[in-house]
Amino acid sequence: MRKIAIKTDRRNQMLDITSIVQKSVSESGVKNGICYIFVPHTTAAVTINESADTDVANDILETLSKLIPYKDSYRHVEGNSDAHIKASLIGDTAMLIIEDGRLVLGRWQGIFFCEFDGPRNRNLIIKIVDDKKTEN
C-alpha cells in the first residue's frame, strides 16, 4: 500500500493523477493485477474520465456546482455540505486492471483526484495486487 500526498489549490478542482498512479504501478513491479485507488476524505473523490480535453473536467465541475451549489439551505454547520454531497456522488474509490505493467485505460481516459473543499493537503491511497499472489 502506498500513500501519496496530493496538494490542491482551489476549492473545486480535478487533478489528473494518471501518471502518479502509473508510476506506483511501475515501481511495484507488478505485471498483471489490479490497482485499487482510495481517497480517505469525505470532501474529495476519485473518478475516471476523459483527460485529452481539459474542458471535460471543467464542465464536470461547473455542472456539479450548478446542481449542488456552494451555499444553500444545508444544515451542516461547517459550511461545506456541497463538498460532502459531490464527493458522495463521485465516489472515493476506483479500480483498474494492470496488464503488462500498465494501467488498462481507454484511449481518452485518465484518473482524476476531485477536490471539493480546497485548497488542502490530501492523501491518495494506492493498493496494487499481483495476480500471481491471488491464484490458488
Q: What is the CATH number of the domain that holds 39?
A: 2.60.120.460
What pLDDT score was predicted for residue 136? 47
- Summarize the confidence of residues 66-84 as an average pLDDT: 94
Q: What is the 3-state secondary structure (H, E, C) of 10-52?
A: CCCEEEECHHHHHHHHHHHCCCCEEEEEECCCCCEEEEEEECC
What's the pLDDT score for residue 135? 53
The answer to whether the predicted template modeling score (pTM) of the entire model surpasses 0.85 is yes
Q: What is the pLDDT of residues 43-52, one digit of tens each?
A: 999 999 999 9
Structure confidence by residue, pLDDT tens digits, 80-125: 999 999 999 999 999 999 999 999 999 999 999 999 999 999 999 9
How many structural domains is the chain composed of? 1
pLDDT confidence of 132, banded at 50, 70, 90?
confident
Q: What is the mean pLDDT of the chain?
A: 96
Report the pLDDT averaged over residues 57-72. Answer: 96
pLDDT over threshold 60, residue 1: yes
Range of the domain at 36: 2-134
Identify the residue whose cell numbers are 451542516: 76
